[in-house]
Structure 1
Amino acid sequence: MEIEKSLFDNLQEFFGFDTFKGDQEAIITNVLNKKDTFVIMPTGGGKSICYQLPALMSDGTAIVISPLIALMKNQVDQLRAFGGNESIAHFLNSSLTKGDITKVKADVSAGKTKLLYVAPESLSKEDNVLFLKSIKVSFVAVDEAHCISEWGHDFRPEYRKIRQIINGIGENIPIIALTATATPKVQSDIRKNLQMNNATLFKSSFNRSNLYYEVRPKNKVVREIVRFIKNNSGKTGIIYCLSRKKVEEIAEVLNINGIKALPYHAGLDAKTRADTQDKFLMEDVEVIVATIAFGMGIDKPDVRYVIHHDIPKSMEGYYQETGRAGRDGGEGLCVAFYSKKDVEKLTKFMKDKPVSEREIGTQILKEVIDYSESSVCRRKQILHYFGEKFDETGCNNMCDNCRAPKTHIDAEEPLFKVLGFIKEQGDKFDDHHIINVLMGQNNQPVSSYKHDEHKLFGSGKEEGVNYWNSVIRQAELADFIKKDIDHYGLLTLTESGKKYLNNPYAVKFIINKPMEFTDEDGGDDVTQSSAALDTELLKMLKDLRKKIAKQKSLPPFVIFQDPSLDEMCTHYPITSEELKQIHGVGSGKAMKFGAPFIELIKQYVEDNNIDRPQDLVVKSTANKSALKVSIIQNIDRKIGLDDIASAKGISYEDLLKEVESIVYSGTRLNIGYFVDEMIDQDLQDEVYDYFKSAEVDSIKEALKELGEADYTYEDIQLMRIKFISELGN
């Protein structure tokens, strides 16, 4: 009873809480009783109190091993604020000066410090080990313990050495290991590595019932994100991107569209990162655009949405990042954008890794692909991944798949085929191989096992890959089969699977609805026009363009290109400012040719009562503006385009594209000096005459007409740039 009383007193006195959450009380009691403790608790469940409170109540100093300097600082600041005492908590890491380290060690030795946060790298330094040997250690807390496992989403080799170092510091030191995300495989790695097989396990449910999960195909993703944020105006959110470059780009687009956003990634200096975190916590910015470097230890309870611009590398990463939404139990919208191109990029990143790492990475990524492409309840899939059974009716329509209409099939026959094949052939094959057999794909692994002669070979061709993926995925979710994760995802029958083969019964499965991608790069182009064009307006704009072209004795494409007209028919720009946002227009062209087009569109909108989709007029960034300004300056100095390309580290072809987009937007560039160097005058005249009378500006058409013997593709492109610049701008 004594512990219980002081527990509640300390909770109230130090943290200001009246009650414990979930298993907190049992966990803290276990730690105070000097027992090894293993805590698996989802983000926002209150993990840190599980070691902070017992540390405050124990003799000596608790060592907290944590992977991130920002996380340590955040927690130490909070503890000092709660305790009103600077010495109560300290951290030891590479950010400290020698003087700081001396002060920390003096406070710890004097018994003033209850929690000492240490990075795993600092822990292994010899002088730190000697120092820790000399003090009374109450227990060791290993935070973010999944970093121990290669199967975790954030593997750190230094974490593998923790047990060895603890043994060197003293005997019988209790350990509490904590993680927010751990699959059964990662749990077993943590236990084994920290030698805590007898630890008491406390595992909370991974279900966050207030979070809504959705996966969208990556079509016009920037426009979708801007529209989403504007529809959720006044709420704070996080957007995750895989690359620093993309983080910077998206943050810039959001700001241009009137959304207060800041970028956050490891390439920014520590002060900028800290300032950004503070501004987010103080609500000076609405949105943080970040790499996965952001979020660990950021305890903002009212983040209302988390958007994944790129599909994450692992389900653990996805779960942890989405878990930053709705920590207060309120609304939490989690939207991820998925494209095959992202998967290809992530697969390419793995190519240079050692074989075992690549095999593990491929399996981890495959789980993300299955999750994204599946039509089954998202919540059920997430919880299954973490070894938790869940009935989808409990989702309460809190995911896009549960809200969508479904196609069910009688799965008895296909399920029997798959289970029968696994039983007959042994647990030697993954889903990929089995689907290849059913589809009749005669590749090397299939023929080497003589499965091209198997009775099932090609028998499932008519149903298609998507169908068989659905069957196998749901057979796993329904516990008929399981993946042997240690052996690269080979499928094995469970007890239920074996029983089913002996006594089959009616089963219904959902068939995945394939995602539809409307643009080929799954892309990011803010300015691509929508498929739903106003064809009547397009005809009127083309007629107007033709009329102006005739008056000015110019080819129509010099006025505006077709993609620009297409976009005008989607966005209906009725002011000069709006027209400038149309792809390929820019302020030069808007001033020179814009007025009659704006007039025509304005009249058309009025006459036809058109409700303009203003929220979709997404302004693009000055589109790599720094590069463009630099190109214009270099051309003014008459530097060769090939030299500019090599100085900027881009190909000559890419530079021509940049120059072309500058000119097509209405800026006049004098590239005559370079053209004269590259192309004879009589050939220049011939191309010039061709474009004067051409109906379209196609380079292929020009080459066909002028003959490919005399010109290269780049020659015509150069001449077209010069032509548009001189006549149109």
Structure 2
Amino acid sequence: MTLKPHQSYLTTLKKYFGYDSFRGDQQDIVEAVVNKNDCLVVMPTGGGKSICYQLPSLLLEGVTLVVSPLIALMKDQVDGLKANGIAAAFFNSSQSSGTQQDIIEQVATGKLKLLYVAPESLQGVHYVLNEKNISCIAIDEAHCISSWGHDFRPSYQQLGFLKASLPNTPVIALTATADKATREDILQQLKIPRAKQFIASFDRKNIELEVRPANNRLTQIIRFINKRPNESGIIYCLSRKATEQVAKKLKTNGVNAASYHAGLNYEERSKVQEDFIFDKTQIVCATVAFGMGIDKSNVRWVIHYNLPKNIEGYYQEIGRSGRDGLKANALLFHSYADVIQLRNFARGASNEAVQIAKLERMQQFTEATTCRRKILLGYFGELLEANCGNCDVCKNPPQFFDGTIIAQKILSAIYRLKGSEASGMVIDVLRGAHNAAVMEKGYTDLKTFGIGSDIAWKDWQQYIIQLINQGYCEIAFHKHNALQLTEFSKKVLFEGAKVALTKPVDYNEIKKIAEKEKQPKRTKVNTLFERLRQLRYNIALEEGIPAYLVFSDATLKEIERERPMSEADFLNINGVGQRKLEVYGDVFIAEILDFIGAKVKKPKKTDTHLVTYELYKQGLSIDEISSQRKLKSQTIYSHISKLYSDGKAINIFDFISKSEVEAVRKAKIALGSPNALRPYFEYFNESVDYFKIRLALGVIDKEQ
């Protein structure tokens, strides 16, 4: 298998994905995969996991097989790859046998670079699962393989056969959320024990974290949304009924919202998801069934109407906001009623004890009096020394006292117990309890036995939670919830580090703190960003793809800031690759120039298509008009189509044949008259250009 030179990594990254540099460990991961090393990649949502296997697929000969759990996720990824000019397809049970056979042939003949398959559909592609065809295997959402994970799926447990069948093919397992136990399980079950591990920072600094008591949630949510007009968001609810009630309440208050849950049929769920992706619906109120297949980069906030069942799920769900790196918000409402309901859900499960322990950790997160980001990162084994400054606790800090001696007593007890006991036993030892468990294990002989008898049991419990939240100790869920020391522990025990604690709180007596009223900010409707956003929306409608696949919000913000006025400058924008420059560059540059002209109050320009018309009447060809106006020929063709539709004297059959019009007419009938051009483009297997389709539709519409 021949490889392209190492220096081509950045060239390929810019050409197909529009980025000038790699983020974090991306380049090291790409290099490891290209060199046929197995890898485990744990990287937060929005951190750029897909680049880690999509880029190697372009550098290796053959097809990269991507195992993915949801059809929606596959379709979204494939659409994004095609938008970047990369040959990709998905294979699943929703396709006809003819389509499936065509995809198999494309794999066998090397016409594809990536093929997405659900684990249940792997049997359908077994004919091409060999090392001649397959260059790399990517297991997306790899935490689904582990019963320790938060989203266990039995169908994933068969995937170990892939490495056994293709021992020389690199396997890359990717997930956004996996604690230590889950990571070990992934490596074991995929049969890649010596895989290189890349654990990226879990810190999504752009997401502001906030927790509130569940009092008057709907009132608070409506106020929250009104401060953020036109922003996309997701509201996660525990039940189907709640999703419908919240959506109904929002709609009665003039908010464009829809509900999504497993009780809807496939068509209904698909419509809600598609409308959200295409920015036709602003807000989706959903159960946790919604979101894994959503690669929408411009979700600006996530609200948890109910308490999530564990920190992994919470972290993954809030990670669906701010994927473009811009500011985002995560608001969580909590109540004891949610805790009771989630406990009932866990009852009888095969891993009931693990589920309950993780739920309790989630509850402790909501009741924390220390930096919430520290708690999140510490849960995944990443210790943060300084407070984040971007959570509600940091912005409204509680009163602290010097709790160093209390912390030393707790950590000493954990050390004497050799990290083998859960918090209940640690507290019993500290308080000098003489119960049967303590006596049988001989813990009365420990030096720490009884050194904390002056502090109440429930107070010790809260102090331990605070130490866990600050990263001074951790819960080993896979070892019966035993408390264990961390690398921060020795700083307190041996290096004189001070520990700040807050006095224990009776949560039953906490009173609601009224939220300060703020007037919603008025949005500027004629900013360049808004005009670029509207242009992007119109292009997306015409091509039948989600708006963020044209350009992300982050790319639009950079275009707004840099205001590129030439193709070279436009190509320097992050997120603009060669294909997107060719397809969209001229119309975005024209929009920038028009905006600047409006801002300096220059005389209003003649409509651009009328300028094209004057040159057409002079007998200039499309290429000559394109050259004189410094616009791409596709743009000139779109002018011709509009001029013809407007009744101008255009001989349309100079540009398109009658047989081509008839072919598009048949396609229109077969497809059910779609408004977008992309379905036609795909109908003709991408052999008919967009401008031809547009011209033909103009002829057909005028006839009708």
Partner of 1:632: none
1:422 and 2:414 correspond: yes
Aligned match of 1:349: 345
Q: What is the distance in 2 between the residues matched to 1:178 and 1:3?
A: 25
Q: In percent, how many aligned pairs have the same letter?
A: 40
Which residue matches 2:502?
A: 510
What is the SS of the residue equivalent to 2:5?
helix
Which 10-residue stretch deviates more, 498-507 or 130-139? 498-507
Distance 1:262 1:494, change over 3 A: closer
1:469 aligns with 2:461: yes
Instruction: Kindly provide the CA deviation profile for residues 260-311 of structure 1, in whole angstroms up to 9, marking residues without a partner as x.
Output: 1011223323333332223223322221111122222423222221100111
Q: Which residue pairs with 2:110 in the alignment?
A: 111
C-alpha deviation, 1:196, in angstroms: 2.3
Q: Which residue of 1 aligns with 2:196?
A: 200
Q: Residues 375 and 513 of structure 1 are in contact (CA less than 8 Å); yes or no, is this contact kept in structure 2?
A: no
Q: Per the alignment, do residues 428 and 185 of structure 1 end up closer, same or farther by CA in structure 2, a change over 3 Å counting?
A: closer
1:486 maps to which residue?
478
Q: How big is the shift at 1:218?
A: 1.2
If asked which structure has higher relative contact order (CA below 8 Å, sep 6+), I would say 2
Q: CA deviation at 1:194?
A: 2.0
Pick from 184, 190, 194 the counterpart of residue 186 of structure 2: 190
Q: CA deviation at 1:203?
A: 2.6
2-structure distance, mates of 1:230, 1:443: 56
Structure-1 residue corresponding to 2:249: 253
Shift of 1:420: 4.1
Residue 71 of structure 1 aligns with which residue? Answer: 73
**Residue number in structure 2 paired with 1:99:** 98
Aligned pair in 2 of structure 1 residues 479, 50: CA closer, same or farther (>3 Å)?
closer
Match of 1:312 among 285, 289, 308: 308
Q: How do 1:542-581 residues align onto structure 2 when only pairs under 5 Å count?
A: none
Deviations 1:371-398 (A, max 9, x none): 11111100111111111121233x1x21
Alignment of 1:356-395 (within 5 A): 357-393=351-387, 395=388
Which protein shows a greater Rg? 1
What CA distance in whole angstroms lies between the structure 2 residues aligned with 1:325 and 1:335? 11
Give the conservation status (yes or no) of the 8 Å contact 1:374–1:470: no
User: Cα gap change, 1:248/1:442 in structure 2, threshold over 3 Å: closer, same or farther?
Assistant: farther
Say whether 1:149 aligns with 2:151. Answer: no
Which stretch has the larger CA shift, 492-501 or 410-419?
492-501
Describe the SS at the equivalent of 2:366: helix
Distance 2:108 2:78 in 1: 18
Q: Label 1:448 to 1:341 Cα distance change in 2 as closer, same or farther (>3 A).
A: farther
**SS of residue matched to 1:83:** coil
> What residue in structure 1 maps to residue 630 of structure 2?
none
Asked if residue 165 in structure 1 is aligned to residue 167 in structure 2, the reply is no
Q: Alignment RMSD, CA only?
A: 3.1
Instruction: Count how many residue pairs are aligned between Structure 1 and Structure 2.
Output: 511
Alignment of 1:398-547 (within 5 A): 398-435=390-427, 463=456, 465=458, 467-477=459-469, 480-493=472-485, 497=489, 506-511=498-503, 513-515=505-507
* Whole-angstrom CA distance in 2 between matches of 1:453 and 1:516: 37
Residue 289 of structure 1 aligns to a residue in which SS? Answer: strand
- Matched residue type, 1:387: G
1:162 Cα shift? Answer: 0.9
Judge conservation of contact 1:142–1:176 (CA < 8 Å) in 2.
yes
Aligned pairs for 1:208-287 (under 5 A) are: 208-287=204-283
Question: What is the TM-score of this pair, normalised by structure 2?
Answer: 0.67
Native 8 Å contact 2:368 2:466 kept in 1: no
Q: State the Cα distance separating 1:366 from its structure 2 match.
A: 2.1
Instruction: For 1:436 and 1:223, locate their aligned partners in 2 and report how far apart those are by CA, in whole Å.
Output: 44
Question: Could you tell me how far apart the structure 1 residues matched to 2:456 and 2:80 are?
Answer: 58
Aligned equivalent of 1:13: 15
Q: 1:494, 1:24 → 2: CA distance?
A: 28
- In the alignment, structure 1 segments of 5+ residues that lack a partner are 523-529, 532-729
SS at match of 1:392: coil
Distance 2:180 2:220 in 1: 36
1:119: Cα distance to partner?
Answer: 0.8
Cα offset for 1:358?
A: 1.0
Whether the 8 Å CA contact 1:374–1:512 is kept in 2: the answer is: no
| Conserved? CA contact 1:60–1:136, under 8 Å | yes
Q: Output the TM-score relative to the length of structure 1.
A: 0.64
Aligned amino acid, residue 422 of structure 2: D
Q: Which digits, 9 at most, give the CA deviation of each residue in 1:58-112, with x for residues without a partner?
A: 211111001111101111122223227xxx2222222222222222212222221
CA distance in 1 between partners of 2:409 and 2:453 (Å):
10
Contact map agreement 1:218 1:517 (CA 8 A) in 2: no
For 2:295, the equivalent position in structure 1 comes to 299
- Using the TM superposition, give the Cα deviation of residue 19 of structure 1 relative to its aligned residue in structure 2, in angstroms: 3.0
Aligned to 2:59: 57
In the alignment, the residues of structure 1 paired with residue 136 and residue 270 of structure 2 have an alpha-carbon distance, to the nearest angstrom, of 30
Per-residue Cα deviation, 1:492-527 (whole angstroms, up to 9, x for no partner) = 3457657855787753323454546789xx9xxxxx
Q: How far apart, in 2, do the equivalents of 1:116 and 1:398 lie?
A: 40
Shift of 1:215: 1.0
What per-residue deviation string (whole Å, max 9, x for no partner) do you get for residues 124-145 of structure 1?
x3x5324424851101011111
Aligned residue type for 2:80: Q
Residue equivalent to 2:334: 338
TM-aligned CA deviation for residue 458 of structure 1: 11
Change (3 A) 1:208 1:493: closer
Q: Tell me, in whole angstroms, the C-alpha distance in 1 between the residues paired with 2:494 and 2:179.
A: 31
Q: What residue in structure 2 maps to residue 658 of structure 1?
A: none
Deviation of residue 431 (structure 1)?
1.2
- CA 1:244–1:443 in structure 2 vs 1: closer, same or farther (change >3 Å)? farther
Report the CA distance shift for 1:130/1:232 in structure 2 as closer, same or farther (over 3 A): same
2:287 is the alignment partner of 1:288: no
Return closer, same or farther for 1:407/1:175 CA change in 2, 3 Å cut-off: same
Q: 2:31: which partner in 1?
A: 29
- State the alpha-carbon separation in 1 of the partners of residues 240 and 501 from structure 2: 41
**Structure 2 CA distance for partners of 1:326 and 1:165, relative to 1, 3 Å:** closer
Task: Tell me the distance in 2 between the aligned counterparts of 1:297 and 1:89.
Answer: 17
SS in 2 for 1:214: strand
CA contact (8 A) 1:30 1:37 kept: yes
1:46 matched to which residue of 2? 48
Change in CA separation of 1:498 and 1:324 when aligned onto 2, cut-off 3 Å: closer
Task: Name which of structure 1's ranges 74-83 and 239-248 shifts more when overlaid on structure 2.
Answer: 74-83
Q: Which residue of 2 aligns with 1:549?
A: none
Q: What's the CA shift for 1:14?
A: 2.3
Contact 1:406–1:511 under 8 Å retained in 2: no
Aligned to 1:3, the other structure's residue is in SS state coil
More divergent stretch after superposition (309-318 vs 48-57): 48-57
Specify the code of the residue in structure 1 equivalent to 2:286. A
- Following superposition, the deviation at residue 441 of structure 1 comes to 8.6
Is the Cα–Cα contact under 8 Å of residues 73 and 295 in structure 2 kept in the other structure?
Answer: no
Q: Which ranges of structure 2 fall in alignment gaps of 5 or more residues? A: 516-704
Q: Quick one: structure 1 residues 29 and 493, their matched pair in 2 at CA, closer, same or farther if it must change by over 3 Å?
A: closer
Does structure 1 conserve the Cα–Cα contact (< 8 Å) formed by 2:379 and 2:474? no
Letter in 1 for 2:370: V
Give the match's secondary structure for 1:359: helix
